[in-house]
Structure 1
């Protein structure tokens, strides 16, 4: 999977509440009418004297509230819970949330390796492999061969190398504004990046896995006079993986368009801003 394959080359408020200043709810606009009674000198009923016990009760409630808040802030509770340990019946992570598993530590060249032999490891492998296959290194023959030989099984790599070399022809590279070695012209920056948004296991066993990677991609030439400015795409890449020699490897893959969100209203940046961002912002090692 390479991004090069994409361009012909492969708040409502709850009912019953209102903040309207003219609302009668909450006493905002409440009025009180006193009726004239005989015997009242001023035409209004005399207010009863305040009950001292009511005042004592209010003070008592306030003191209890303050004590309760102070106790809660001190983390009071059953000492057997370990103070800050979560309860055993706490809700677990949702299906789209990160698992919290530590990222893979190993690397084979610039590509992460040594993924866990489980479903999470398969998803992590697929995400990182998608990044490698969508990188600018795919446009150089030597680095492309290194990537393919690293993340595919030996059989799949052997079958894929020749067709890819044919696809990344000199004419194709020239159409992208690159020379025969995949280099951009002086003063320009070629951009090709894959940014995984999420992963999903379609099928899993201890020996094989099928994983979908939903990603957004950047591709194009940033520089003066570029006729192919950097643009975004949304794709779903599906990787068929096998557990080989202690790691997950790709046996086959495919991709399709979308799902794509509605484009935002952020104005496009200049080519200089894009080039600077690409140079300053590095990529990530992805883990499920």
Structure 2
């Protein structure tokens, strides 16, 4: 699904004020308004500098967050997105377009992708990091349940796979996450006959496994925003970003890297 550092609040503060899982936080307009984003971009540069000199991520976030007096949700956005310059370069060197899936297999980090699309469809906040990846701040590890937007998210995935001409898609779901069996059933039901512009629909395999990351490390055609996988896969597809850009134009996205410094599509 994702690594622990990415999914949990870096401050350890109470989450009692958190809103419904996929929608926006009531303070997002203030925490991620123009002035706040400008500060976050500076903070991300400083975290990147510290990571490049061997500082642990949590230490870098705490140091920079304290210096800029960042709120817990802002620190979470940084923690989910930050990487060193070396990591960014390596990830971009192994990023492949969706068209590379034609006749090939997509290896999908199931909860990671579906939750990102659910958040986009629900009007929740997404942050785009240095390598161009969208990440949510929902913090749903261990508490997932399908919502009204789940079927739409699955349908968008099916359409993207068909448009790319993928021959097969392997969707891996963390068996320990609540409702993993329900999500698997819905994936198979809705994607089993997904139409394909290239002819036959892609073959879909949705599997409950103890540790999706272990099976995705070293794989090609990986679809995930998990930092561990982006650092260790053979190649990856920025499919969530492509889907959201094409089908959810009103999605709430905060770019933590200025446009002139962001990676191309």
Q: Structure 1 length as normaliser, TM-score?
A: 0.27
Choose between structure 1 and 2 for higher RCO, CA contacts under 8 A separated by at least 6 residues: 2
Say which structure is richer in helix. Answer: 2
More strand by share: 1
TM-score, normalising length: structure 2: 0.28
